Amino acid sequence: MDKINIGLIGLGTIGAGVVKIFQKNQALFKERLGVDLCLKRIVDIDLERKRDLDLSNINLSDDISEILNDEEINIIIELIGGYELARTYVLTALRKGKHVVTANKALLSKHWDEIIETAKESNVGVYFEASVCGGIPLILSITKGLSGNQILSINGILNGTCNYILSKMSSEKRKFKKVLIDAQKKGYAEADPSLDINGKDSAHKLAIISSLSFGQNISVEEIYVEGITEITLEDCMYAQEEFGCTIKLLAIGRIVDNKIDLRVHPTLIPKKHLLSKVEGAYNAVYVRGDNVGDLLFYGMGAGELPTASAVISDVAAIASKIKDSNTNFRSFLGQREKKKELLPTDELELKYYIRFSTVDHPGVLAKIAGILGDNNISIASVVQKEPLEENVAFVVMLTHKALEKNIRKALVEINKLKIIKAKSVLIRVEEME
Amino acid sequence: MDKINIGLIGLGTIGAGVVKIFQKNQALFKERLGVDLCLKRIVDIDLERKRDLDLSNINLSDDISEILNDEEINIIIELIGGYELARTYVLTALRKGKHVVTANKALLSKHWDEIIETAKESNVGVYFEASVCGGIPLILSITKGLSGNQILSINGILNGTCNYILSKMSSEKRKFKKVLIDAQKKGYAEADPSLDINGKDSAHKLAIISSLSFGQNISVEEIYVEGITEITLEDCMYAQEEFGCTIKLLAIGRIVDNKIDLRVHPTLIPKKHLLSKVEGAYNAVYVRGDNVGDLLFYGMGAGELPTASAVISDVAAIASKIKDSNTNFRSFLGQREKKKELLPTDELELKYYIRFSTVDHPGVLAKIAGILGDNNISIASVVQKEPLEENVAFVVMLTHKALEKNIRKALVEINKLKIIKAKSVLIRVEEME
């Protein structure tokens, strides 16, 4: 075999990146792999759109059957996103003995078992490096590079849009909504940014890397999720100035007492930690293995060429196997380790940042501290900030380690007090030790 | 095949780590790989040493032939280091059809072609993730994860000893020699630290990752090397306080105008860059690909378990292939891209930090600046520091971009001046843009 034929479904941003890389680095791939990678067919529903691409040697069509029925095509790249159509195309391709490369994290986290099983039955590979953290070779590193380790924890900045917004709020002292509009103008946030800013996108990615790290199928519904929509400029500033921390949207997967702790939420991280230095639209993942210790992987988690770079690395991996007549693909995907329970968030034991909106008169702190004390929560540090609005003051504190169920119970009690003017703000702290 | 037998040559620090991981994570490997990894034999010259290891199920011997002639052994791990003995054992093992995992960067950078060719002829694999940056899956990431990219540059902190020393000099304002003694006491530097601090260790590692990144065999002799022995506390302080930079020993591989620029030397890096935040004995590598953009890989580059973690990941990769009856190994190692010339250091165009030791009287700066100007070097920033010793002052400057051959010529002229009291100190600056 001296040529491997590829079909691409979906010619959007990432698809265009894939076309560009195939064209730019074609000679390099031949040198590296000893085989030609030929992008033979592209299917997209929109044939009219002007694209800044040379498609002269590629068969472009809006008929999906042309790709799925082309027996010369060895590898299908699925980049249409979404659930049902993508599922149908991917399963059909796999059943026809074609390998599949996809960036579709939603599809994978919903139909993981079905897709993996179908690939196994057809003895083909399904590859998805591009589904998590764009160009960072994270899935490869976790599944292959760290195979000698029990992964103990993952702490990831997995969504570039959220990180861009939180970075700008902190560095430019601007409010959430203004930065979001700015991010949309610059292309760092979508017109409808909800999947990013509500934390769901991070949860999808966490489901995939946790499934691989902990050797069991983790569904996105099992993950506790909070987004960044309620993070205020004040909280960013107090975190920095009073407690030496930066607020990041963190996706967390940890083994705690042989249970799996899975969460996505805004988190205070000490400024001296590398993760707190990750600015703008970059992604970064801090991984702890029982032998390797701490590792950081950092890079662009989205964008045309970085994401296409991950797609191409998957294509090259498959092509190399086809060329070598290897017939076993992705055996690690079948791995099932001894199943662990999930840790309920009630059982978390963390430090917490809490901001109370109170009336501005004496005795307020005593009342709050009393309820916290009754619930076994001790205060590590507290400041009262100047009232921002008439008759309201902020009491901002960091607790010592406390049980989350106690924190929640205390906050319910405190929020009922007459001295409390708005729902108290709770943000978890990760000391990253 | 339900069992894969492994032989270990060399039971030092890393070897002990390998034994510990095999024992601790044995059940996990079985779950992941579907096959038992059995450490069957160990050979070491010292059978008397007390080791804190359970070796009851392992055949320990000082006779190398017991491993090399054991036909049941599929994979040999070579951890004795050095050149000739290791070369003999590795080549013999490969010729006998055994796969080899090694952490021996010196061996690889000296006998690369012979080892790769022998492995190919015997159709077995030679794996060496542990030879560069210990537990960081860097070789895997470069060769597989970034296969869709032309690597444009690598900027790496590849030696933990040097980074520990430079970090401590900066953060604790202590002199090189004192920190080195401290590092030796704490086990971060060897009794004979010369291979680390003279930059050779970094050069060996750079030779390996450059060979893989740029698709041609790069020998360690082709790399320009400066160590850190001449870095003074004053230079660390001035770099920080006057120019907002940190000094790191950087291993650099770059494509410049289709030539390859290869260097290891102390380097000023802007404090805002992530590489400047890498403290202590950690390693970090900043990689730029033409599509993926910038990536950072960070982790422990040495130590018993981190390095053994990399060894085990290689063993697992081979075991997985054996189990799947794959018969092609490491085809990328044969890759040869269109050969590029090396860039002579004379042709470098960088910014430079220069410290002149001068007499402390008027007219000195004019004289120095005159010679620099005559050599087409313009000054970006200059400060005169208080004399530290009688009759000596430091003139410390940062240049704009200049040709290195001009800088060298100017320094020769300046060093001959009567007003100059000691050889001028030159440190290159990388802006990391």
HEC string of chain A? CCEEEEEEECCCHHHHHHHHHHHHCHHHHHHHHCCEEEEEEEECCCCCCCCCCCCCCCEEECCHHHHHCCCCEEEEEECCCCCHHHHHHHHHHHHCCCEEEECCHHHHHHHHHHHHHHHHHHCCCEECHHHCCCCCCHHHHHHHHCCCCCEEEEEEECCHHHHHHHHHHHHHCCCHHHHHHHHHHCCCCCCCCHHHHCCHHHHHHHHHHHHHHHCCCCCHHHCEECCCCCCCHHHHHHHHHHHCEEEEEEEEEEEECCEEEEEEEEEEEECCCHHHHCCCCEEEEEEEECCCEEEEEEEECCCHHHHHHHHHHHHHHHHHHHHCCCCCCCHHHHCCCCCCCECCHHHCEEEEEEEEEECCCCCHHHHHHHHHHHCCCCEEEEEEECCCCCCCEEEEEEECCEEHHHHHHHHHHHHCCCCEEEEEEEEEECCCC
- The answer to the question of residue B340 being in a domain is no
**In b/e form, how buried is each residue of A206-237, taking b as 16+ CB within 10 angstroms?**
bbbbbbbbbbbebebeebbbbbbbebebebbb
Chain B residues with beta carbon closer than 8 angstroms to that of A291: 17, 21, 25, 135, 305-306, 308-309, 312
| Residue tagged 């205020």 (tokens) | A232
Closest CA to A187 of A304, A101, A298: A304
Chain B residues with beta carbon closer than 8 angstroms to that of A135: 289, 291-293, 295
Chain B residues with beta carbon closer than 8 angstroms to that of A25: 148-150, 290-291
Among A150, A296, A327, the residue with its CB nearest the CB of B25 is A150
DSSP string across B102-136: E--HHHHHHHHHHHHHHHHHTT--EE-GGGSSTTS
Same domain, A239 and A329: no
Q: Are B108 and B131 in contact (CB under 8 A)?
A: yes
- The answer to the question of residue B339 being in a domain is no
Which pLDDT value is given to residue B386?
74
Which pLDDT value is given to residue B357?
93
How many CB contacts within 8 angstroms connect chain A with chain B?
209
Residue of A nearest to B295 (CA): A299
Which pLDDT value is given to residue A335?
62
Determine, for residues B323 and A337 on separate chains, whether the beta-carbon distance falls below 8 Å.
Answer: no
Same domain, A111 and A178: no
Distance from CA of residue B61 to its chain's centroid? Answer: 33
Determine, for residues A323 and B331 on separate chains, whether the beta-carbon distance falls below 8 Å.
Answer: yes
Determine the residue type at A211: S
Residue A31 to residues A13, A17, A433: CA-CA distances in angstroms? 27, 21, 45
The CATH code of the domain that includes A99 is 3.40.50.720
Interface test with B, best of A33, A133, A144 (most B CBs within 10 A): A144
Among B148, B295, B337, the residue with its CB nearest the CB of A313 is B148
CA distance B420 to chain A (A): 41
Residue of A nearest to B333 (CA): A32
Same domain, A272 and A160: yes
Q: Are A153 and A209 in contact (CB under 8 A)?
A: no
Which pLDDT value is given to residue A161?
96
Determine, for residues A289 and B277 on separate chains, whether the beta-carbon distance falls below 8 Å.
Answer: no
Distance from CA of residue B334 to its chain's centroid? Answer: 22
| Residue tagged 């794996």 (tokens) | B127
Determine, for residues B295 and A296 on separate chains, whether the beta-carbon distance falls below 8 Å.
Answer: no
| Residue tagged 């990388």 (tokens) | B430
Determine, for residues A147 and B313 on separate chains, whether the beta-carbon distance falls below 8 Å.
Answer: yes
What are phi and psi for residue A257, nearest 5 degrees? 50, 45
CA atoms within 13 A on the CB side of A303: 19
Determine, for residues B309 and A295 on separate chains, whether the beta-carbon distance falls below 8 Å.
Answer: no
Q: Residue B431 gets which letter from DSSP?
A: -
CA distance A253 to chain B (A): 19
Which pLDDT value is given to residue B125?
92
Which parts of chain B have pLDDT scores under 50? none
Q: What ipTM was predicted for this assembly? A: 0.94
For B46, other C-beta atoms within 10 Å of its C-beta total: 9
Determine, for residues A337 and B31 on separate chains, whether the beta-carbon distance falls below 8 Å.
Answer: yes
Last residue of a domain, one of A242, A276, A299: A299
Determine, for residues B297 and A293 on separate chains, whether the beta-carbon distance falls below 8 Å.
Answer: no
Interface test with A, best of B101, B147, B157, B277 (most A CBs within 10 A): B147
Interface test with A, best of B155, B271, B309, B340 (most A CBs within 10 A): B309
B248 in catalytic set: no
Same domain, A184 and A255: yes
- The answer to the question of residue B234 being in a domain is yes
User: What order of strands is seen across the sheet that includes strand A59-61?
Assistant: A59-61, A36-43, A3-9, A73-78, A99-102, A126-127
Residue B221: CB partners within 8 Å, gap ≥ 6? none
Residue B363: CB partners within 8 Å, gap ≥ 6? none
Provide the domain limits for residue A29. Answer: 3-134+304-334
- The answer to the question of residue A22 being in a domain is yes
Interface test with B, best of A151, A155, A283, A292 (most B CBs within 10 A): A292
Compute the average pLDDT of residues A308-336: 81
- The answer to the question of residue A339 being in a domain is no
Determine, for residues A293 and B315 on separate chains, whether the beta-carbon distance falls below 8 Å.
Answer: no
Which pLDDT value is given to residue A362?
84
- The answer to the question of residue B29 being in a domain is yes
Chain A residues with beta carbon closer than 8 angstroms to that of B328: 324-326
Determine, for residues B293 and A305 on separate chains, whether the beta-carbon distance falls below 8 Å.
Answer: yes
| Residue tagged 């975190």 (tokens) | A239
CA distance A370 to chain B (A): 42
Catalytic residue among B110, B205, B340, B409: B205
What are phi and psi for residue A412, nearest 5 degrees? -60, -45
| Residue tagged 């966490």 (tokens) | A206
* Three-state secondary structure call for residue B341: strand
| Residue tagged 């709770």 (tokens) | A426
For B57, other C-beta atoms within 10 Å of its C-beta total: 9
Among B289, B295, B309, the residue with its CB nearest the CB of A291 is B309
Residue A307: CB partners within 8 Å, gap ≥ 6? A14, A17, A103, A130, A134, A135
The CATH code of the domain that includes B406 is 3.30.70.260
Determine the residue type at A193: P
Model pTM score: 0.94
Same domain, A35 and A76: yes
What are phi and psi for residue A100, nearest 5 degrees? -125, 135
Same domain, A169 and A275: yes
Determine the residue type at A65: S
Determine, for residues B17 and A291 on separate chains, whether the beta-carbon distance falls below 8 Å.
Answer: yes
Q: Are B325 and B185 in contact (CB under 8 A)?
A: no
The CATH code of the domain that includes A226 is 3.30.360.10
Which pLDDT value is given to residue A334?
60
Which pLDDT value is given to residue A192?
93
Is the alpha carbon torsion for B271, B274, B279, B285 positive or negative? negative
Chain A residues with beta carbon closer than 8 angstroms to that of B129: 145
Interface test with A, best of B151, B292, B314, B332 (most A CBs within 10 A): B292
Same domain, A46 and A77: yes
Which pLDDT value is given to residue A122?
92
CA distance A137 to chain B (A): 5
Same domain, A101 and A187: no
Among B284, B295, B306, the residue with its CB nearest the CB of A136 is B295
Determine the residue type at A122: S
- The answer to the question of residue A78 being in a domain is yes
Determine, for residues B21 and A148 on separate chains, whether the beta-carbon distance falls below 8 Å.
Answer: yes
Measure CA of the first residue to CA of the last residue in chain B; give whole Å: 51
CA atoms within 13 A on the CB side of A368: 27
Q: Considering its fold, how many domains does chain B have in total? A: 3
- The answer to the question of residue A222 being in a domain is yes
Determine, for residues B293 and A316 on separate chains, whether the beta-carbon distance falls below 8 Å.
Answer: no
CA distance B248 to chain A (A): 17
Same domain, A290 and A152: yes
Residue of A nearest to B27 (CA): A337
User: How many angstroms separate the CA atoms of A119 and A102, rounded?
Assistant: 13
Chain A residues with beta carbon closer than 8 angstroms to that of B292: 135, 299-300, 305-306, 309-310
Last residue of a domain, one of A239, A272, A299: A299
Q: Are B153 and B255 in contact (CB under 8 A)?
A: yes
Same domain, B292 and B161: yes
Q: Residue B345 gets which letter from DSSP?
A: G
Which pLDDT value is given to residue A244?
96
- CA angle A186–A193–A171, rounded 5-degree value: 55
Same domain, B212 and B285: yes
Q: Are B135 and B306 in contact (CB under 8 A)?
A: yes
Same domain, A311 and A252: no
Q: In this prediction, what percent of chain A has a pLDDT beyond 90? A: 83
Determine, for residues B145 and A141 on separate chains, whether the beta-carbon distance falls below 8 Å.
Answer: yes
